[in-house]
Amino acid sequence: MHKRKSKRKSHALALNVLTWMVVVLTLLPILWMVLSSLRNYSDIAAGDQLSSGLPLRWENYRDMWVNVDFFTYFKNSLIVCSVTTVLATMSATCAAYALARFRFRGSNGVSVGITVTQVIPGMLFFLPLYMLYRSMGDNWGIPMLDTYHGLIFLYVALFTPASIWIMRGFFISIPRELEDAAVMDGCSRFGAFVRIVLPISAPGIIATATFIFLLAWDELFFAWVLTSSSEVQTIPVGIRLFVSQFQHRYDLMMAAATMSTLPVLIAFFACQRFFIKGLSAGAVKG
């Protein structure tokens, strides 16, 4: 009995140590980034950003705003990501509900198709996509390159499939009888979806929306390829350009990185309760 108890204690201790190691490894780069954003660039170059004796340099943020035109990139990211989030969440919700509830010809094919799109690396189709966008602008008079809607259209297509799977698991976990009860109470099938299913699915929808927002906010490759002017370029592109232009100004670079992380952190911490609940909802009953 005593041996078993001490074995359990040492297991718990080992797990705690491992957990803290993971936490430190995860948080250390963020701490590094934040502290670097408050140091002089020569201190960073010397590797002293973690030293406690050095003063905090809040002027880095002011300098960053002046040098990087951060506000424009921030505004562009906010517009593109918010619209993407709304559209992708709406389409994922409707598609997921259809896949979860209805049996129709081709439903298996749709499910497989959604899975297959996730397997193909996005980079494989950037060239055909670029050419398509260019052709739409040149031949059809619909400008897609270097536009908000060009990016939004692509992001919605990119992030909806995974979102469908998240939402589908959530809808499957909702008992069908709730909708039957709503139909008995006078709702149409769509009315039952709107009045009963959607309110119950709010955690899943918020989790999906947060997930899409996070993905869109961090997306660099397609934003880099499909945009060329600062009126449309997003924060990841802005930071990338800044790196090219101000290679040694790590202080301003870290300030920009910290600023770009803030909305994501705020969104995540505001919605983390729904995020965790939504992602695991289908795990038990689905």
Partner 1 sequence: MASVTLQHVSKQYTKDVNVINDIDLKIEDGEFIVFVGPSGCGKSTLLRMIAGLEEITEGEIYIDGVLANDLHASERGLAMVFQSYALYPHMTVERNLGFALKMAGMPKAEIAQRVTNAAEILQITHLLARKPKELSGGQRQRVAIGRAIVREPKVFLFDEPLSNLDASLRQNMRVELAKLHKELGTTMIYVTHDQVEAMTLADRIVLFNEGVVQQIGSPLDLYDNPANLFVAAFLGAPKMNLLDARLESAHAQIAELRLANGAIVSAAVNASRVSTGDIVKLGIRPEYLQLATDDDAGAVSAKVILIEHLGDQSLAYITIADAAEPLCMKLSGRCCNLKYGDTIGIIFPLEHCLLFDQAGVAFKRV
Contacting positions for partner 1 (CB under 8 A): 175, 177-178, 180-188, 196, 199-200
In the bound state with partner 1, the residue whose beta carbon lies nearer, of 138 and 185, is 185
Rounded to the nearest whole angstrom, what is the least distance from the CB of residue 207 to partner 1 in the complex?
Answer: 17
In the bound state with partner 1, the residue whose beta carbon lies nearer, of 184 and 266, is 184
In the bound state with partner 1, the residue whose beta carbon lies nearer, of 182 and 237, is 182
In the bound state with partner 1, the residue whose beta carbon lies nearer, of 59 and 180, is 180
CA distance 96 to 92: 6
List Cβ neighbours of 94 (8 Å cut-off, separation of 6 or more). none
Rounded to the nearest whole angstrom, what is the least distance from the CB of residue 113 to partner 1 in the complex?
Answer: 25
The answer to whether 98 touches 259, Cβ cutoff 8 Å, is no
- The terminus-to-terminus CA distance of the chain in angstroms comes to 40
Rounded to the nearest whole angstrom, what is the least distance from the CB of residue 16 to partner 1 in the complex?
Answer: 33
Question: What is the residue-wise DSSP string for 9-75?
Answer: HHHHHHHHHHHHHHHHHHHHHHHHHHHHTTS-HHHHHTT-TT-TTSPP-THHHHHHHHHH-HHHHHH
In the bound state with partner 1, the residue whose beta carbon lies nearer, of 128 and 186, is 186
Rounded to the nearest whole angstrom, what is the least distance from the CB of residue 284 to partner 1 in the complex?
Answer: 16
Helices (H), 70-201: 70-101, 107-119, 126-139, 148-172, 176-184, 189-192, 198-200
Rounded to the nearest whole angstrom, what is the least distance from the CB of residue 175 to partner 1 in the complex?
Answer: 6
In the bound state with partner 1, the residue whose beta carbon lies nearer, of 9 and 176, is 176
Question: What is the residue-wise DSSP string for 160-196?
Answer: HHHHHHHHHHHHHTS-HHHHHHHHHTT--HHHHIIII
Rounded to the nearest whole angstrom, what is the least distance from the CB of residue 105 to partner 1 in the complex?
Answer: 14
How crowded is the C-beta side of 281, counted as CA atoms within 13 Å?
26
